[in-house]
Chains A and B, each alone.
Chain A
Amino acid sequence: MSLLDCVIVGAGPAGITAAVYAARKRMDFLVVTQDIGGQTALSGDVENYTGYQFITGSELVAKFEEHLKQFGVRLKDDTPVAHIAQASDKTFEVRTPKEVFACRTVIVASGRRPRLLNARGEEAFRNKGVTYCATCDGPLFADKDVAVIGGGNSALDAVLQMVKIAAKIYLVDVNPQLGGDAVMREKVLASDKVEVLNGAVTKEIYGRQFVEGIRLEHKGGVRDLAVAGVFVEIGSVPNSNIIDFVKKNEAGEIVVDNLNRASVPGVFAAGDVTDVPEKQIIVAAGEGAKAVLGVFRYLSQMR
């Protein structure tokens, strides 16, 4: 088994940017990833990526991919990473269900996944009315009544997407007041299709084959909403379970220094899986570049 300079885990903005830099440095590396684009591929409109005044998430990912493919990078896609292990000689093994890749360094850029609501029926009705991606699945609920669960920007964004599609949107927020940006809140509150329920806890999602309603605890009582769709938008959790020997913060994010080094030499991390506070596409891309330049420096010092 040959020893690679680096394995990049993930191909969102951080992983792809790292790969572009690594290719230009002629490093011997591989990208292992479940998908291309990560959360960016599922984003609706992107209006803050410099150089593009307006682009959709999937279009931006297509641009990233086009850039990456120019270099003939070795890319294992549709490949989840099961585990990253430390070998005895200060090298690492990146294990997938079928293969093992040995490497001198690893960049963990595995991103985040949606946080689950943990309401009864959530798992049973997944893809049967319960969804975690308004951009993907919103159009399936044309002229239906739906509920968006959450109160931050992602929930507000889902509501604004659904205003154009659904008949009525309940915004179910556990907090007493909506969060998110004022501009988005104002747009949501201005729509006569939207009913906001603050201080409401979603207890159960029910139906026969598909979702027919949800049950809430609201103002000391129980309330049922007849809805065909439930959009869970209550934030995300880092995909950091694949590595267990580096320091993480309370949220499970990999702790990195300002050179993207994790707590064990040779392990670098970038993007939304890290404790870098701003979860933004452009920040993740920049962090990916920093991480791989750090790897390059680390490898030069080793030789």
Chain B
Amino acid sequence: MAQVKVFSTPTCPYCLRAKDYLKEKGVAFDAVDVSSDRAGLEEMMRVSGQMGVPVILVDNDVIVGFDKERLNAKLGL
């Protein structure tokens, strides 16, 4: 199983959609709320080189935004 981590804020609609999508597909993930987790925000900025949310980390691959096609490809959905 791939390690999946979702960096998000509580107010971003695409973050909610991304998380709902993963839940619907039965994909377990770690959720990092970058609005309250400063170290999480720094990690997100370091791995993605930008500040837009959501950022989804699938093992070592970085997906910026809720890019369903890339997510499906990485997770074999």
B11 at the interface (CB under 8 A from A): yes
Contact of B35 among A56, A61, A128, A140 (CB under 8 A): A140
A140→B34 contact, CB < 8 A = yes
Which residues of the other chain, B, contact A209 by a CB distance below 8 angstroms? 49
Which residues of the other chain, B, contact A127 by a CB distance below 8 angstroms? 50-52, 64
CA of A35 to CA of B68, assembled, Å: 12
Query: Mostly helix, strand, loop or mixed at chain B's interface?
Result: loop
B11→A128 contact, CB < 8 A = no
Closest to B33 in A: A139
Please count how many residues in chain A sit with their CB below 8 Å of the partner chain's CB atoms: 23
Which of A25-33, A129-137, A235-243 forms part of the interface with chain B?
A: A129-137
Please count how many residues in chain B sit with their CB below 8 Å of the partner chain's CB atoms: 21
B53 at the interface (CB under 8 A from A): yes
B51→A136 contact, CB < 8 A = no
Contact of B34 among A44, A61, A135, A139 (CB under 8 A): A139
Which residues of the other chain, A, contact B9 by a CB distance below 8 angstroms? 136-137, 139-140
Chain A residues 128 to 155 lying within 8 A of chain B, measured CB to CB, are 128-129, 131, 135-140, 142
Mark A227-254 against chain B: 1 for CB-CB distance below 8 A, else 0.
Answer: 0000000000000000000000000000
Which residues of A approach B to under 8 Å, CB–CB?
Answer: 35-37, 41-42, 44, 56, 58, 61, 78, 127-129, 131, 135-140, 142, 209-210
Which residues of B approach A to under 8 Å, CB–CB?
Answer: 9-14, 16-17, 34-36, 38, 41, 45, 49-53, 64, 68
